[in-house]
Structure 1
Amino acid sequence: MSLPPSFRQVRAFLSLVQHLKFTRAAQELNVSQPTLTVQINQLEEQLGIKLFDRNKRRVELTPAGRNILPLMERLAINMDDILLAASDLTYARRGIVKIAALPSVAASFLPRAIMVFRQQNPGIEINVWDVVGEDIIKLVKAEEVDFGIGTRISSDRSIKVEDYVSDSLCAFFPVGHPLANAPPVLQISDFAPYPLVLTRKNSTVRVLFERSMDREGCEVSVAMEANYMSTALSMVRAGVGVAILPTSAVEAGNMTGLAYKLVEAPWFNRRVGIIRKADHSLQPVAQRFIETMHSMPDLRSDESFKSARRLDTVPARVAGPGMGKQDGLPASFPGGMARTDKVALAPME
């Protein structure tokens, strides 16, 4: 079976068809006339047909050459499209970035990164799966997404995780709950006596929570399990129990009538990182999105993603109408969070 024509041979054929002179076609292609002659001869040899009749005075297509011409033109268009598409992908002018992210990430800093990226790369489509940590790993390994943003919950060597931010776990409770009078930073023993609202067992928060309970040899009462942090917060507001959630839950749900305190315990500070398949190259548009995340230092300084030790001077925080900058409180507190020792507590819904 003969070899298919190369891109250079196709271009040489079409240029010679246009000019019907080897000298002009060679000038257009920026090659020497002998080089062009070799390319045409090789093409004819590979195809097994004579494409041109030529002598010292003229060059013209043979009947076989005229039959081949439409196919060569179509092939050239397809080749140009391939080169253009490859160039667009290389320079991130078009494509799709697929990201699997923890719900807490999808509700906090990820939207800002997407906004900046879309402004810089308007031709790129971005798809986000907000799923639990276990599912992030599955999607990354199956190559259904380009990368994930979550925590490493297994020692699977087929994936690698690049640390990005830290996220602390907190106890969320209704305003007026006895935990409001507990120490500024809670220990497990402070919330263990109360019924708890937890995320489901396949979530990274639940995995970290149970590891900590096992290490401390502590038994707790689980009153409710929820898939979403917003659901868990609603259960807390209704008085079902105390929720153990990351600080990023503040942005994910309605905090009216609720307060929260950081918990200092083993495994209660999780590292959130960029998860990708080991020994697997990212497509250029996905790599550019990660570079955009790294170029935005304000994402890393998100109030929801700080170590508990940096916030151990803040007792409980509450949210509600009339709270925030107008009360002389730090503007950096998310959602108008305030200290319980500075303002009156907001009423529950």
Structure 2
Amino acid sequence: MSLSRAQQEATMQPSFRQIRAFLSVATHLKFTRAAEELNISQPALTVQINQLEEALGIKLFNRNRRQVSLTPAGHDLLPLFERIASDMDEVMTASSDIYQARRGVVRIAALPSVTSRIVPKAMASFRQTHPNIQVRIRDVVAETIVELVKNEDVDFGIGTRLTPDRDIKVENFITDHVCAFYQGGHPLENSRAVLKLNECSAYPLILTGKNSSIRVLFERAMAREGTEVDIAAEANYMSTALGMVRAGLGVAILPKSAVDSGSILGLAYKQIDAPWLHRRIGIIRKASRSDSPVAEHFVRALHAAVNSMQNGSFSSIKKAELTR
């Protein structure tokens, strides 16, 4: 079967193995020494040099039984081939560094509640073992996390999938509970240890923005129970919501991890008892994309950070992929 012109041209392109062979012979000016260095037979080395000369259409060495020397063309090409070999060595070194997570960049989008404690803890330990890796964090709401992952603006996200989406895959990571935060001395202080949703809705509420995962979960819970609420204020940041509680504007509905996001001096909180208010936070990846070795190493650092946080706001959940 005859080869196409493109295939014929490809077969005539010098290979890196042939370039290595040329450089070795040019260094030793002996085929036997070069063959030993390359750990191949002398006939095989001769074939590689012949193929290189054929591909280039020029003679590179003058050869006889007593000596080998570079031709003028061989002298001219030597520095060019040395540069190619040097560049390839750099590529191989860089590839090895990336594979071993010795260099590179990992880009993450995460919920503010996660970036306030878990991510910094993971970064601190990761920096000790991977000092040349840059970690770039974007703290954004759940909706934006998914967009950034799908657009490949980040390597992965740490957040909550609010709606089914076949373009992403989610690995279980952590879970936290939704709580009511209130001023010290508030009537909720004398109620049961774990609150019912209707006990919270009896007071003016401070909620996070409509595109936040907590807001979505809370509204779904209210719809299931048919509960109406008085929304006193909204806040994009949990620290702002806590400040509003402190000012006496109402009761804030926030994840338990809000205690890591701002001062709760003078405030108290209780968990709200509603199964659908347990927030599951996962590692979000694009379904059609594989993790880089650097990203994989940082995911392991994240899991280690959660496991080392005893009695923390978050609980680790079994590492398994959820349904897309």
Q: Given the alignment, which residue of 176, 179, 191 partners 1:182? A: 191
Residue 99 of structure 1, CA deviation: 1.2
Match of 1:124 in 2: 133
Residue 302 of structure 1, CA deviation: 4.6
Match of 2:322 in 1: none
Q: Given the alignment, which residue of 28, 31, 34 partners 1:25? A: 34
**SS of alignment partner, residue 22 of structure 2:** helix
Match of 2:229 in 1: 220
Q: Against the structure 1 CA distance between its residues 200 and 165, is the aligned structure 2 distance closer, same or farther, given a 3 Å change threshold?
A: same
Contact 2:175–2:315 (CA under 8 A) maintained in structure 1: yes
**SS of alignment partner, residue 276 of structure 2:** coil
In structure 1, what is the Cα distance between the partners aligned to 2:14 and 2:291? 31
Match of 1:102 in 2: 111
> Percent of pairs identical after alignment?
60
Match of 2:69 in 1: 60
Match of 2:320 in 1: none
Match of 2:216 in 1: 207
Residue 156 of structure 1, CA deviation: 0.1
Q: Report 1 or 2 for greater relative contact order, CA contacts < 8 Å, sequence distance ≥ 6.
A: 2
In structure 2, what is the Cα distance between the partners aligned to 1:13 and 1:298? 55
Residue 42 of structure 1, CA deviation: 0.7
In structure 2, what is the Cα distance between the partners aligned to 1:306 and 1:281? 26
2:47 corresponds to 1:38: yes
**SS of alignment partner, residue 267 of structure 1:** helix
Match of 1:80 in 2: 89
Match of 1:322 in 2: none
Match of 1:164 in 2: 173
Residue 299 of structure 1, CA deviation: 4.3
In structure 1, what is the Cα distance between the partners aligned to 2:238 and 2:174? 19
Residue 279 of structure 1, CA deviation: 3.5
Contact 2:184–2:267 (CA under 8 A) maintained in structure 1: yes
Match of 1:249 in 2: 258
Match of 1:15 in 2: 24
Q: Against the structure 1 CA distance between its residues 302 and 9, is the aligned structure 2 distance closer, same or farther, given a 3 Å change threshold?
A: farther
Residue 118 of structure 1, CA deviation: 1.4
Contact 2:14–2:52 (CA under 8 A) maintained in structure 1: yes
Q: Deviations along 1:164-202, whole A, 9 cap, x unmatched?
A: 111000000111111111211111111112111111011
Residue 303 of structure 1, CA deviation: 2.0
Q: Deviations along 1:64-105, whole A, 9 cap, x unmatched?
A: 111111111111111000000000011111111111111001
Residue 226 of structure 1, CA deviation: 0.9
Q: Deviations along 1:289-341, whole A, 9 cap, x unmatched?
A: 1123334563464521249xxxxxxxxxxxxxxxxxxxxxxxxxxxxxxxxxx
In structure 2, what is the Cα distance between the partners aligned to 1:208 and 1:299? 28
In structure 1, what is the Cα distance between the partners aligned to 2:38 and 2:305? 45
Residue 108 of structure 1, CA deviation: 2.0
2:210 corresponds to 1:191: no
In structure 2, what is the Cα distance between the partners aligned to 1:13 and 1:80? 16
Matches within 5 A, 1:255-274: 255-274=264-283
What amino acid maps onto 1:16 in structure 2?
V
What amino acid maps onto 2:245 in structure 1?
V
In structure 2, what is the Cα distance between the partners aligned to 1:28 and 1:19? 10
Contact 1:164–1:300 (CA under 8 A) maintained in structure 2: no
Residue 266 of structure 1, CA deviation: 4.2
Residue 269 of structure 1, CA deviation: 0.7
In structure 2, what is the Cα distance between the partners aligned to 1:62 and 1:231? 76
**SS of alignment partner, residue 73 of structure 2:** helix
In structure 2, what is the Cα distance between the partners aligned to 1:209 and 1:4? 64
Contact 1:109–1:299 (CA under 8 A) maintained in structure 2: no
TM-score for both structures, normalised by structure 2: 0.91
Match of 1:148 in 2: 157
Match of 1:335 in 2: none
Q: What is the CA RMSD across the aligned residues, in angstroms?
A: 1.6
